Every structure is written in structure tokens, then in C-alpha cells.
């Protein structure tokens, strides 16, 4: 590796595939969350997904059974790839998605059965710190074994509540074919 060569995550070239010579509008990670939220929308069954908005994505059974990377390898070129100056078939509803907030909303939603908002925050904080080595900034006061004041606890609980609402809003949007 050259001395000056390094990975620059903010570089626009991170979104370019040399093999196909196609671009994607956003980092792959954001599409992972779209896929995960689509799975959640398909599983909960409260309101049906408007499947006509997902032409080319495959069948619902495939979305539920296929790991994201396998699905991505099969579909990204047709759904999200575009040549220089072109546009993809599917775009996000915003040009600057808040990927970390979407991740935290997803985590809060899938762990909502772990208790009240404080317990959810503590679990996610512990899990993320162990798994990624990076604590969740929004849940800084929910670190296990540290005593915080009642106001700090209320702040964290409020943030978890907002992430719950955000997750539900994303699921509703995904049902209609938009993300986030």
C-alpha cells in the first residue's frame, strides 16, 4: 500500500464499483437498514406492504429468508446502481440520511421486549460497547454500574421513546415504498 493511500469513508469514490462502473447514491450500509426495516414490515403483518412499490426486489419470501449480502449481490446493480450522470430506480427520501439514528431506531425496535425504556437503553449500550467498542452517545447515561441522577435517566428514556417513534415511522414509510 502506498504511504499516502488510505481509506476515506467520506470520499465519493467509496460509492463507486470499478467492476460494473456504476455508482450508488449512498453507502451500502443504509440499504442494509432499508432491507431490515422491510423485513420488519413484512413480519409484523399489521398493514400490508405495498409490494407494487418494490418491483425488482424479489418476492416477500425471499426478502424474509435471504441474508442481506446475498440479496444485495443479486439486486444492487438493477435497483440502486447507475452510470455517471444517471439515476437509480430506487432512491432514499433524503439526500443525507442519518444512518446512526436509523441504526439506533432499529436496535430499539428489535429490543423493545427487553423491558422499559431504561432497560432497553442499558442493554443496547452494553451490547454496542462490547460488540463495536463504541458506546451509543444518546445512551451515555445508561452505562451499567454507574449511578446517574433521575434527570439523566429521564433524558435517556425520552431518547429511547423517540427512537421507538422513529422506528415505527420508518416501518410505515417502508410499507409505502419510501425510506427512511
Q: Are residues 108 and 168 in the same domain?
A: yes
Q: Are residues 48 and 105 in the same domain?
A: no
With respect to residue 87, please indicate whether it lies within any of the assigned structural domains: no
Cβ neighbours of 17 (radius 10 Å): 12
Cis peptide before 131 (omega within 30 of 0): no
Q: What is the pLDDT of residue 145?
A: 65
Q: Are 92 and 83 in contact (CB under 8 A)?
A: no
Q: Are residues 118 and 56 in the same domain?
A: no
What nine digits make up the cell of 141?
A: 447515561
With respect to residue 5, please indicate whether it lies within any of the assigned structural domains: no
Q: What is the pLDDT of residue 176?
A: 96
With respect to residue 139, please indicate whether it lies within any of the assigned structural domains: yes
Q: Are residues 155 and 126 in the same domain?
A: yes
Which residues does residue 17 pair with via DSSP β-bridges, in sequence order? 22
Q: How far apart are CA 17 and CA 107, in angstroms?
A: 29
Q: What is the pLDDT of residue 140?
A: 80
With respect to residue 48, please indicate whether it lies within any of the assigned structural domains: yes
The size of the chain, in residues, is 180
User: What is the extent of the structural domain holding 75?
Assistant: 12-79
With respect to residue 130, please indicate whether it lies within any of the assigned structural domains: yes
Q: How far apart are CA 96 and CA 98, in angstroms?
A: 6
Angle at 10 between CA 7 and CA 16, to 5 degrees: 75
Say how many domains are in the chain.
Answer: 2
Q: What is the pLDDT of residue 12?
A: 63
Q: Are residues 74 and 107 in the same domain?
A: no
- Show Cβ contacts of residue 124 under 8 Å, excluding neighbours closer than 6 positions: 104, 107, 108, 111, 136, 139, 142
Q: What is the pTM of this model?
A: 0.86
Q: Are residues 136 and 169 in the same domain?
A: yes
With respect to residue 38, please indicate whether it lies within any of the assigned structural domains: yes
Q: Are residues 123 and 60 in the same domain?
A: no
Q: What is the pLDDT of residue 7?
A: 43
Q: Are residues 103 and 56 in the same domain?
A: no
- Which H/E stretch holds residue 16? strand 16-17
**pLDDT 10s digits, 23-63:** 999 999 999 999 999 999 999 877 899 999 999 999 999 99
Q: Which regions in the chain score pLDDT beneath 50?
A: 1, 3, 7-8
Q: Are residues 71 and 119 in the same domain?
A: no
Amino acid at each position: 500500500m502506498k504511504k499516502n493511500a488510505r481509506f476515506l469513508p467520506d470520499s465519493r469514490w467509496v460509492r463507486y464499483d470499478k467492476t460494473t462502473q456504476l455508482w450508488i447514491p449512498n453507502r451500502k450500509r443504509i440499504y442494509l437498514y432499508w432491507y431490515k426495516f422491510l423485513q420488519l414490515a413484512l413480519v409484523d403483518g399489521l398493514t400490508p406492504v405495498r409490494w407494487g412499490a418494490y418491483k425488482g426486489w424479489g418476492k416477500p419470501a425471499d426478502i424474509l429468508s435471504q441474508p442481506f449480502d446475498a440479496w444485495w449481490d443479486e439486486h444492487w446493480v438493477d435497483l440502486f446502481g447507475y452510470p455517471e450522470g444517471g439515476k437509480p430506480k430506487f432512491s432514499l427520501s433524503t439526500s443525507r440520511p442519518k444512518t446512526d439514528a436509523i441504526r439506533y431506531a432499529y436496535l430499539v425496535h428489535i429490543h423493545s421486549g427487553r423491558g422499559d425504556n431504561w432497560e432497553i437503553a442499558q442493554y443496547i449500550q452494553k451490547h454496542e460497547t462490547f460488540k463495536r467498542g463504541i458506546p451509543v452517545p444518546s445512551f451515555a447515561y445508561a452505562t451499567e454500574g454507574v449511578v446517574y441522577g433521575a434527570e439523566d435517566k429521564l433524558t435517556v428514556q425520552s431518547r429511547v421513546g423517540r427512537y421507538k417513534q422513529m422506528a415505527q415511522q420508518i416501518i410505515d414509510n417502508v410499507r409505502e415504498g419510501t425510506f427512511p
